[in-house]
């Protein structure tokens, strides 16, 4: 299950994000999103967990919780819209 996380501390790295979610089960991948050019954290990230029950437990436990004075938002990630980059243009 792919999870979207918002409200991350700006100094949290990929490994720390992975460790946060490993408390609930196996993590396949975890990454923090950075701005292009500045390499500054956008304070959001994505985590992939293979076990849906463990992922749901992570959502239940972490959503709305605090981390370094930030409130986390944790939810199932939505699929990207493949046509979003074509805003209003026909291909």
Domain holding 57: CATH number? Answer: 3.30.70.330
Assess if residue 68 is contained within a domain: yes
Query: Residue 80, CB half-sphere, CA atoms under 13 Å: how many?
Result: 6
The residue whose two tokens read 């990454």 is: 31
Q: What is the pTM of this model?
A: 0.83
Q: Which two tokens stand for residue 72?
A: 């986390």
Whole domain around residue 15: which residue ranges? 2-77
For residue 89, pLDDT over 70 is answered with no
Assess if residue 16 is contained within a domain: yes
Q: What tens digit of pLDDT does each residue of 41-72 get?
A: 999 999 999 999 999 999 999 999 999 999 99
Give the SS3 label for residue 20. helix
Give the SS3 label for residue 27. coil
pLDDT band at 80 (very low <50, low <70, confident <90, very high): confident
Assess if residue 82 is contained within a domain: no
Residues in Cβ contact with 29 at an 8 Å cutoff, skipping those fewer than 6 apart: 18, 46, 47, 48
Assess if residue 87 is contained within a domain: no
- In the chain, the number of structural domains is 1
Residues in Cβ contact with 66 at an 8 Å cutoff, skipping those fewer than 6 apart: 72
């Amino acid at each position: 299950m792919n999870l979207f996380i918002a409200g991350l501390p700006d100094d949290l790295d990929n490994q720390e994000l992975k460790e946060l979610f490993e408390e609930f089960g196996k993590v396949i991948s975890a990454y923090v999103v950075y701005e292009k050019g500045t390499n500054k954290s956008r304070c959001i990230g994505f985590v992939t967990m293979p076990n849906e029950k463990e992922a749901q437990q992570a959502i239940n436990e972490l959503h709305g919780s605090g981390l370094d004075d930030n409130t986390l938002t944790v939810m199932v990630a939505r699929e990207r819209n493949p046509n979003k980059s074509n805003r209003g243009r026909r291909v």
